[in-house]
Amino acid sequence: MLPSVSRRTLLGTAAALLASTALPRLARAAEGGRLVVAADSEPRQLNPAIVASNGVFFIASKVVEPLAEASYEGDGLRPLLATAWEGSDDGRTITFTLREGVTWHDGTPFTSADVAFSAMEVWKPLQNIGRSLFADLEAVDTPDDHTAVFRFSKPTPLQLIANALPVVSSVLPKHLYEGTDIAANPANGALVGTGPFTWGEYRPGEYYLLKRNPAYWNAGEPHLEEIVFRVLPDRAAAASSLEAGEIQLAAFSAVPLADLARIAGVPGLEVVTKGYEALTYQLVVEINHRNEYLRNLKVRQAIAHAIDKRYVLDAIFLGYAEEATGPVPKNAPAFYTGDVTTYGFDVEKAKALLDEAGFPAGPDGVRFRLNLLPAPYFNETRQFGDYLRQALAAIGIDATIVANDSAGHQKAVYTDHAFDLAIAPTVFRGDPAISTTILVRSGIPAGVPFSNQGGYVSPALDALVDEALVTLDPAKRVELYDEFQRLVTADLPLINVADWSFTSVASDKVENIATNPRWAVSNWADVGLEE
C-alpha cells in the first residue's frame, strides 16, 4: 500500500525541493551576515565603467569602486580610490593622488596605470557619460604608481569633474582588460574590482550573489558576509517578500508608492526616503520644435499653464516628489535658483494664450491635434501621459497617446523624431553639465538618448552652455547656470514638471541605511545586519 499523500503536502514538498535546487548556496550561507535585496532588472552589460547607469551601479558598485563617492559631509565627496584631487590654474590638468595599499580581488596591486587605462580606453571612448565629459581628455600621465595626471586640451572645471566622479570614474583592472575587446571581456560578467564585496555568482532570473572581500582596504569593513540580489521583476512581489521576511531591503521604489502607507504600518519594516538626494529624476515634457504649433512660444506657455503640478504630485507621486521650477532640481542647492519664470496652473490663461497664438477652438472644441509619447520605463511616466492627455483636452488640444516598448520609444523620440510631445524621466547628476545641458543644447546627433532631439535651437543658450563648460571659477559657473535656468524657463525648450527620487523599504534590522546621497548605488561597506 502506498502511504496516503495529501495534495497539500505534495505541493509543499515539491516547492521545498524546487527551492533547495534553485538556491543551493543560500541554504548553507553564514547566518546573520546575509542581506537579501530585491532586484527588479538584470542589466545586459554589468560593467559600471561602460554603462554608468543606476541599474548597473545598484549591483556592480559593491564590487567595482569609483575614485570618490558622494557624501552628506564637507564638499559633498568622500575619497575612495583617490585620496585627493587638485586642478591647475589654467584648468588643463587635474592631478589625482591615489590610495596606497589597495589590491584587486585577484591580488594584483591597484596602481595609477589602472586609472590611466580606465580613463583613456574605457571612460572616454566607451562610457555613455564619459564620451562627452572626457571628450577633451588628451592623456593621463602616471609619474608614479599613486599619482594620475589628467591632461585636457581645453580648460575643464575641476568642480564639474569632481561632481561627476561618483558616476563616471569606476576603475577597471588594466591587467585583465588590456588588449582585449573591453565590451565583451569575460570580466564584465564576473566583475573584478577593489570594492568591499567580491563577485560570487549570477543565476539569470534568480539571483546575484556577492561575498565579503576579506582584504578590503578599509580594515573592519564590510560588515556583511554576503549580499544576495534576488530578481523580483514583479513589484507586488517585492512588498509581499518583505512582509514574509524573505528579503530585507527593497530599494528604488520597488514597493509601489500606493503600497507604502500600508507597508509603513507593518511591524519590523521601515520606509526610508533618504539616500537618493543625488539621484534626482525629473519628469520632463519633451517638445518637438519642428511641429508648426509647438514652435510657437505661446503654445508652449499654454501647455505649461495647463499642467496642475500640485495634482500631479498628489495623484501620481502620492506626495513623494517636488514641484519643479526649472531644469535644476531644488535638492541640488549648489546650482538651484528659484528666480525663474514660473507657470501657475491656469486653464483660462492657457486658452487665452492659444487664442492669441492664432489657434482658435474649432466647432468640436479642438484647436489642433498632437501625438504624445510617454516613456514606458516608469509607472509614473505612463500615468503622467494619461494625465497630460486630459490636461491638454481641457484647453482644446487633442493628444493621441502612442505607446511603445523601451526600444521603440527611444527610436521614435531620439532617432526618428516621430513625436510631437514626449514624456521623459531625465536624471540630474549633481552638475548641470553632466546630463542636463545636453537636453537643450543644439547640434546633438540623432540617436543620443536623453538629449535635445526636438530640433530646438537657441544661439544664446548654446553660447551660455559652451561658456560654462570652460569656466573654471566655481562661483562664476554657478552664475552662468542660474542664467541657464532663467533662459530655459523663459523660452521653454522643454517643460519641467516634477522632481522625484525614490524610497527604500527595509527591515529595521538593517543598519546604516541612507548614509550618503547615492546610497542605493554606493558600495554598502558600512551596512550591517543586527542579530
Partner 1 sequence: MIRELLRRPEALLGGLLLLLIAGAALLAPVLSPGDPLAIAGRPLVRPFTDPAFPLGTDGLGRDLLAGVIHGVRTSAAIGLAAALVAVLAGMLVGTAAGFAGGLVDEALMRVVDAFQIVPGFLLALAFVSVTGPSLAVVAIAIALGAWTGPARLSRSRVLALREADFVAAARVMGMHPAEIALRQVMPLALPPVLAVTAVIVAGAILTESALSFLGLGDPNAVTWGGMIAEGRNQLRSAAYLSIIPGIALVLTVISIYLVGEALTDVLAGKRQS
Residue numbers at the binding site for partner 1 (CB under 8 A): 235-236, 239, 256, 258-259, 261-262, 311, 314-316, 376, 379, 383, 385-387, 389-390, 393, 400-405, 408
What's the closest the beta carbon of residue 374 comes to partner 1, in angstroms? 8
| Residue 172, CA distances (Å) to 117, 146, 148, 166, 168 in order | 8, 15, 15, 14, 12
Instruction: Return d(Cα 359, Cα 346) in angstroms, integer.
Output: 18
What's the closest the beta carbon of residue 88 comes to partner 1, in angstroms? 52
Return the percent helix, strand and coil in the chain, to nearest 5.
35, 20, 45
What's the closest the beta carbon of residue 363 comes to partner 1, in angstroms? 17
Burial of 27 (0-12, 13-18, 19+ CB in 10 A): exposed
CA neighbor of 399 nearest in space, from 359, 442, 363, 370: 370
Cβ closest to partner 1, residue 256 vs residue 449: 256
Cβ closest to partner 1, residue 155 vs residue 408: 408
Residue type, 64: V
Cβ closest to partner 1, residue 146 vs residue 389: 389
**CB-based contacts of 513: which residues, under 8 Å, 6+ apart?**
249, 272, 274, 275, 504, 506, 519, 527
Collapsing DSSP states into helix, strand and coil, what is residue 228? strand
**CB-based contacts of 274: which residues, under 8 Å, 6+ apart?**
513, 514, 519
Cβ closest to partner 1, residue 393 vs residue 457: 393
CA neighbor of 401 nearest in space, from 314, 377, 447, 392: 392
Cβ closest to partner 1, residue 57 vs residue 368: 368
Across-strand partners of 229?
A: 37, 208
Q: Where are the alpha helices (DSSP H) in 79-155?
A: 112-117, 124-126, 130-133
What's the closest the beta carbon of residue 131 comes to partner 1, in angstroms? 31
Cβ closest to partner 1, residue 18 vs residue 315: 315
What's the closest the beta carbon of residue 381 comes to partner 1, in angstroms? 13
What's the closest the beta carbon of residue 315 comes to partner 1, in angstroms? 5
What's the closest the beta carbon of residue 287 comes to partner 1, in angstroms? 20
Concatenated DSSP letters for 502-529?
Answer: --EEEETTEES-S-STTGGGS--TT-EE
Concatenated DSSP letters for 50-89?
Answer: T--SHHHHHHHTTTS--SEEE-SSTTSEEESSEEEEEE-T
Q: Is the Cβ–Cβ distance between 432 and 481 less than 8 Å?
A: yes
Cβ closest to partner 1, residue 70 vs residue 391: 391
What's the closest the beta carbon of residue 498 comes to partner 1, in angstroms? 15
Cβ closest to partner 1, residue 228 vs residue 399: 399
Residue with cell 566655481: 474
Cβ closest to partner 1, residue 215 vs residue 318: 318
Cβ closest to partner 1, residue 409 vs residue 477: 409
CA neighbor of 460 nearest in space, from 490, 436, 433: 490
Instruction: Return d(Cα 312, Cα 12) in angstroms, integer.
Output: 45
Cβ closest to partner 1, residue 97 vs residue 404: 404
What's the closest the beta carbon of residue 308 comes to partner 1, in angstroms? 9
What's the closest the beta carbon of residue 432 comes to partner 1, in angstroms? 32
Helices 297-306 + 347-356 axis angle, to 10: 170
Instruction: Return d(Cα 474, Cα 319) in angstroms, integer.
Output: 34
What's the closest the beta carbon of residue 299 comes to partner 1, in angstroms? 21
